[in-house]
Amino acid sequence: MTTIALAPESASPLRRLTAAVQRADAHLYEAIRSAYGLLNHEREHSRAFPLPMRLRMWRRGFYAESEVVYDFPRNDARDYVSDYQHRIRGTWVNPFGPFYNHKLMLRTYLLSLGQPQPETVALIVGDRIVGDPYGPARGPLTPIGLRERLEAGAADGYVVKPEDELCGQGIFLLALENGVLVRRRGTASEPFDLDHFLRMVGGRARGKSVNSYLIERRIRQAPFWAGLFPGSANTIRALTLWTPGEPAPFLARAVQRIGTQDTVPTDNWAGGGISAPIDLASGRLGIGRMHPTKGRRGAPPFTHHPDTGAAIAGAELPGWATIRATVLQAAASIPFNRMAGWDVLVREDGTPVLLEANGNSDVNLLQVHGGLLADPSVRRFYQRVGMV
């Protein structure tokens, strides 16, 4: 059996140590990685806040910016999952965390359950390309073959994403304009250099021995969601929790994410998108919010979309009962699943498509509408799994 090293021999001593820990203990590795991410986040984002405020929030386990995001002290911090609880303790909740981190693994499992998935046009791993990995035309492709396939079927465009990244990192949109492949990210648009991209994936970027990317055919979303903002895939983030000892998971909270001109082609909340709460019973949307420190438009409440004028507050999601049932069925079909944030896109024909599941979902876009722990059922879950 051939083993792929987690870090090349030429890597720094720190990277080699990290790779050794990852091989020895996945939970310890995730804890170290999360702790590093927490500290790095504060180093990059807390400078704008006064030191007394930072110290006050750090003592309670929150980022400095969380005082603004969650409107402390007007709201009670005891009702909120802290950043420490989320970033450190949350990594231990699911026994098989890497399952959620790798899109290919999750996609294979969901397809086996009969859940519809985006069409995977190509899988790129290092310097190898596999076309149509889940379809009848699967097989190796040359760079020329990949280009021909992309140019021949680009009517709806493609989404290109790292196979093992979270939070919309590294995602861009690919389209054919006037016979030329064009890459779009945010408001930027430029000709796509496929050869350069393949060299980048084939190299050892980010300290990895192998890079991997998925190229998916872009899904046409249902009219309601396209009407909110047509430039992005506007997904629902639905948090399911499965309390130990209970027979089935439950839906703890859900929000509708909506892209803006700043986030194309994603609806990333931390990049300037909108999060609107969903009433779990009716599917009705509440007032939308942007990230108060990372969005480019401040933090006003949004009853309507700032770019399209589409109504947000009071709008009802078509087919909400089906969306909710689909998420809960998927969550209950994974026996080792305890906690997951599901990203759901509703296809043009009304079918919910589960794009991803995050085993330790970001909570700020959920809690900007109120603390999760204010719900007794949610608090009981977090207590039972040792997060609070």
The enclosing domain of 348 has a CATH number of 3.30.470
pLDDT score at 46: 61
Domain assignment present for 156: yes
Average pLDDT, the chain: 86
pLDDT score at 54: 78
Domain interval for residue 228: 98-115+222-359
Query: Both 103 and 239 in a single domain?
Result: yes
pLDDT beyond 50 at 4: no
Q: How many CB atoms lie within 10 A of CB 174?
A: 22
Per-residue pLDDT of 240-250, as tens digits, reads: 999 999 999 99
274 is written with which tokens?
């909108």
- Residue of 187 and 116 predicted with greater confidence: 116
pLDDT score at 26: 53
Euclidean distance between CA atoms 388 and 383, whole angstroms = 5
pLDDT beyond 50 at 81: yes
End-to-end CA, the chain: 42
pLDDT score at 25: 54
pLDDT beyond 50 at 352: yes
pLDDT beyond 90 at 16: no
Domain assignment present for 60: no
Query: Both 271 and 348 in a single domain?
Result: yes
Domain assignment present for 172: yes
Report whether 183 contacts 173 (CB < 8 A).
yes
Report whether 139 contacts 227 (CB < 8 A).
no
Domain assignment present for 17: no
Per-residue pLDDT of 125-168, as tens digits, reads: 999 999 999 999 899 999 999 999 999 988 889 999 998 866 55
pLDDT score at 29: 53
* Rg, Å, the chain Cα set: 21
Query: Both 230 and 321 in a single domain?
Result: yes
46 is written with which tokens?
């807390």
Q: What is the reported pTM?
A: 0.84
Number of domains the chain is built from = 2
| Domain end position, chosen among 217, 239, 261 | 217
pLDDT score at 55: 82
The stretch 351-374 carries a mean pLDDT of 96
pLDDT score at 266: 83
Q: How many CB atoms lie within 10 A of CB 191?
A: 10
pLDDT score at 21: 47
Per-residue pLDDT of 41-72, as tens digits, reads: 655 666 667 777 878 888 889 988 899 999 99
| Domain end position, chosen among 172, 196, 217 | 217
Query: Both 191 and 230 in a single domain?
Result: no
Query: Both 229 and 325 in a single domain?
Result: yes
Strand-strand pairing, 158-162 and 139-140: unpaired
pLDDT beyond 60 at 366: yes
Q: Which of 94-98, 225-229, 270-274 has the lowest mean pLDDT?
A: 94-98
Domain assignment present for 110: yes
Domain assignment present for 26: no
pLDDT score at 37: 58
Q: Which of 99-103, 247-251, 325-329 has the lowest mean pLDDT?
A: 99-103
* pLDDT band per the 50, 70, 90 thresholds, residue 169: low
Domain assignment present for 51: no
Domain assignment present for 269: yes
Query: Both 324 and 226 in a single domain?
Result: yes
